Structure 1
């Protein structure tokens, strides 16, 4: 069973997996910005995943696609947007 969640700056794709742990996939295209900006977005999403993976309700494959404007977000904004989207759909325990 999978789920697709749209936020203003990200598309989140979640799919249950049969392994024992959650996995992360990232797609940040050149539309987001230059290499420095793309790497910063990826670092922040990885850090969110690392901190929050124990709160996932199921073992899932978590794939994030960054949209235009994601590079303009601060660390806190990225965390808040991802957390709010996942909590609203019931995939993350508060």
Structure 2
């Protein structure tokens, strides 16, 4: 690993919202968001929604993501950028080594500025009544 210090953790909601306006790289197990942070160093955040599963499942996924990010960001992360991983349902069963290689590839794509298209916006709650 490089001599960079351990990346710090994002805690403010505003930082997560700002990251959503940055680069987006989708992988089968997660979506990586990368956004410049005006010289605050390498930082990371993790989001796993209730759609993924119960608290036990979500916490397991967050622990796995935390290990992946702490391992990869010092050497492969973008300097002075925020990195946010959003868990996907398929990330629960994915092999840890597969997640590791997906994260490495996602960080390479982000460094090159290659982004995936934004998700289509779907209507939230449609009335079932006609």
- TM-score per shorter chain, which class? 0.7 to 0.9
With CA pairs under 8 Å and 6+ residues apart, which has the higher RCO, 1 or 2? 1
Is contact 2:31-2:85 (8 Å) kept?
Answer: yes
User: Which one of the candidate residues 72, 85, 106 is aligned to 1:64?
Assistant: 85
Name which one, 1 or 2, has greater alpha-carbon Rg.
Answer: 2
1:82 aligns with 2:103: yes
Cα deviation code 1:24-59 (max 9, x no counterpart): 111101221222221111111111111122222422
In structure 2, the partner of 1:5 is 25
**Please, which runs of 5 or more residues in structure 2 have no aligned partner?**
1-20, 113-130
1:16 aligns with 2:39: no
**Please, which runs of 5 or more residues in structure 1 have no aligned partner?**
none
State the secondary structure of the residue aligned to 2:92: helix
Is contact 2:33-2:85 (8 Å) kept?
Answer: yes
Normalised by the length of structure 1, the TM-score is 0.80
1:73 aligns with 2:94: yes
Deviation >6 Å, runs of 4+ = none
Q: Which has the higher strand share?
A: 1
State the secondary structure of the residue aligned to 1:73: coil
Q: Over the residues paired in the alignment, what is the CA RMSD in angstroms?
A: 1.9
In structure 1, the partner of 2:48 is 28
